[in-house]
Structure 1
């Protein structure tokens, strides 16, 4: 927009603003001489204008002219880059097509001839932001009587209303809610503590009682078998068998020895059971006698993993075999049952008291009686009780586990739980089987109990069935078994939960009552508070992102229906220096008119100090996302994009401003029907004048500001430096990134990153691409990224000229861009306007 057109728009706007709202549009049309674009610009300004808010904002704002003077320069100082002589094509001339703008509304960009910046950019007047934002369905203009202000609960930043609500409800909080909640909390804590202590005592008492009864049972059974081993007839027969085993050809002699039958008869007599079973081993592990009628196992040695237990017996310690499911531990022995077996193994002594053999006796239902102790305890107490061995294997049949297996909660056979199932957690529901349990971690209680520890846990943990339980465990060191008692957490703390629910319900009802009362009291003032807030004109659609300084929302102007990017200074960044930086970004960006710079629509702050900036909403992908979607870019497209970036940065440099944070994430690429790719530079939060003179730029800087991997070496050496060639280095880094799909430097350690940037060259782009890069293009990137300021391009204008010379040899057309966007960014294209089969690359 030139000066004459601006003056014309201003005069029409000021005159129309004096008229009633329902007469303004007719008057403007009658005075614009049929210029529809002029009508649209004036009506757009009138629709957005609010005289009350403007007056209030003007009283709070700093004189804009001073800030612009501090920024330096004007639109006249924007550098103009000469265009290259491109070969003629069918596309040259004027071309129009639909493109996306904020909110998805169509607009057109007019392509230019080869005399206006190489078919890439257009002057500001051709890309004015005062485009039509309303149609037949637009909202009624303020003051026309056809519309009302949205209710306060639809406005995001109505802090005054919230403050009124807090003031009105504060006395309710002090007088009612806080005392009640405090008393309720103390009462609940005491009740919960008592209930928790009671549950703890019950679990510990149950575990201790089960420990004593189990130990007593095992002691009695072992002592019984020890008495059988001391019987005269049994002991004499064993002594004879040991003697036979030391002679020649012992196997046949042992198998025919009548002493084996004598031992069998004596054990049947002593136990009162005909189905008693026994095995006798000597010190070498040889089987001296057994209950098998064919005596096939006599004379054969025991397997190695069973020999460790015999060593304890020959040291005078009685042990218990199992509970285990028997395997073929000796040649000639075939297990006759698949049920778990539990049997004492006791020493047999000669007349001199020397241990000469080990005796195992089973067949008198020791496992069934042992399992009955746990089953009866579980039935009476209503808890899950079971035993585990050193390996974390459940060695009793837990009624809870059996019931869970029958319901399908445990994917194991109910008859194969004891001495098979490992008490482990269920990390994946589809892996609940015996094999998977062998590699999963043990449950909290089983892991500690199997390591010989005694304790309990009142904090819920996951059981072998995947339920949350609390439990206690005890270790029996003599028998190498652990006792576990577990109870479902919800059952154990059910009483405490009822108390908690009651007090929480009471507190919730009181809180709701206070908030409703406060809201009713504040309702009368809510509408006025919302009207006064400068951001009440915007409807928040969602959060776009956040950074170190602010949060960016997608917002829609309630009257214009225009989508915008609303940036608000974060609540924890409201120091004087942060306010100045935020103010600087808005004011500097507002001074730029390049179509490749983000546009600023509004800026200000609320009475509460909430600084905000309303910007153009950009539809498209950042260069980082472009590379993420399609990898390294073609040579022509890279030059095409760099040329547009140079246009934006060139204008900023012409006004004495440095961006200082150029990177792929701060350049957004959208699809334009006329020229194809359209790049826009944004985020001037770290922008800085070459020669700061105004208060708006008076911020200290003693640390590095920017993104390290795209910062020029001189920025590390002197953070306060302000040299335009630092931005040229960043443009070179962007070129490197587009051509190689990798940043020039990547290092986790900041010190290593700094050392690389200061001293090393980046990896060749051809290495990343897998193909060679033309020497002239490589020279352009290397010169832009030169560590020497003198060797680098001395201005953006010089870099732009170099790019234009190369673009003659590496063209990139709108048709090329159309194909890329159709494949990688179809969501940003206008539907039905593009057919890939019509494009000939």
Structure 2
């Protein structure tokens, strides 16, 4: 018998070793991840628009940031350049006006006339010529003004000057084209006159006129915007004794130069004085009239009427400040300019219209004037706004698409599930005809059926329609692929595997009309030693083939072992449920799961402490626990919690079977079982073959033989002709066999009651959760 067993195991070991490589081919982390990811995306098409959304959002973020930086750089450069050009043009224009004033003031006749006028006024002041306190006669003033006007008129006409004044050191007007000014000290003139009296020529910023002047429309009115180009008049000692100024219309060259600095539809360049008052015209006078910022009358303009203050909101959109204009703060650009700074801001600060704008500014200290260039932020960043609008539109469409596909997927999934359920109800599964429901498990159901052509009874396992998922399908396929590689007569045979057009996954296997070991002990109590030995040897035969191929079952337990009558032979064992099988080559590559797998009552210590380290000797431990259960009718340990049970597996030594129920057990059989249950793997039988050899050495026993086995099966087949307990792994119809009788039966003695176990401990653990 030993020689037969050795020969059998040698035959099993002659399987092609390349099979081991085939079993683990493509099982690398990358290939698994790639496969599972592809499967996931095929199952969830609605994810694609969301993936596109994420990609587009990421792309949009970087494109937006890049374009924003590009626009900001370009905008800053444009504003700085435009401001620099405007400043240069304005300074050049001021210099030209100063030069023109100097050239006219230096004309020999003009200088002589001004000095004579000064001498005459000094004589008058000293009481000579006329009575003290008397004014020069009108005809004398007209004569002096007429002579001076004749001298200045050609040059004034050439340089577009529209009037003149002559002021002495006391800032009294001694000559002017407008007679009303003669003899007056005008306060508005004091700022620029102080500069000229120090010997410097200058140009004043625009200010309201002190007398009635004609505006650009020819209407005579007061406070007409005006400005002067001024030059000192020196005596023979080169000392400044007077000042001559030439009036300039600001709306002509001065404002025109500033209005050249306009960008787009909302860009403008304007000037402010030291009081923040705009001294050039705005391009938005019509808007300012509608907003009430300047009076609604003929010829009303923004120059000298608007201060560059922040209203706190957009006046263009109807916002009105709650305080007076003079109490509002200056705009950011105006404040910076009044501080004498030069800079650029792209932050979108509100301008004098309350509209967010990007701006550049500078200050001309010689002329007490600031220049501000700005453009509405909305227009400045319009390309970026268009880009954002396009991206947001695409995002919205992608989300709508994802929602539509998701709803469509749900509808299709529902229809597919209904189609699968309809196919099962119709009892047609490809070429197989379903007959009787045999059992139901967590992942699948098992039917008895037959092939439509061969008529052979077949057990057909279906993946439950509600469990159709990539992970469930992968495990289902894994079970089939592993099991169909095994040819041992004590391993259940797989006939077929497929998927129906409705999406029902199934595989067909040999139909086992028997009883699993869990039901056997539960109903008929502890089994005779001889029967236990034969059962364990057959299990060893199945496991040795799997172990030789580098496979660990990981879930050896009574419920996964069927006892059958096959081909005239009694007590033929079939090992089932290879759904948790793991390749040792996967372990060597570090690719297996670290989760706990197995059934708590039959798990080895290493399966609890370090699931990644289990090997074939872990199955040997589980098989020892199965043998213990068959002999005693009780599990290894009694516990009230899962943690306590695990701790027993790790630390506690189980009582020998002979001490559990007082039944005499062959010492060699007891020693073989206790060797399997050693805590250290090194002390267990190292292979299933080693255990089989130990069992073969157990002394012959009369408590079980072929005749007794046949008698047992004949008796119980009669009792269960219409009630059959059919099992395929965990998919069990548990009420088929009759309950254990109270009288002695053919197994040689009275039936012992089944040991009590903690609820749920007989459940298979997968990834740390019960299945």
Structure ID, larger Rg: 2
Instruction: Please report the TM-score for the alignment, with normalisation by the length of structure 1.
Output: 0.38
Instruction: Answer 1 or 2: higher relative contact order, Cα 8 Å, separation at least 6.
Output: 1
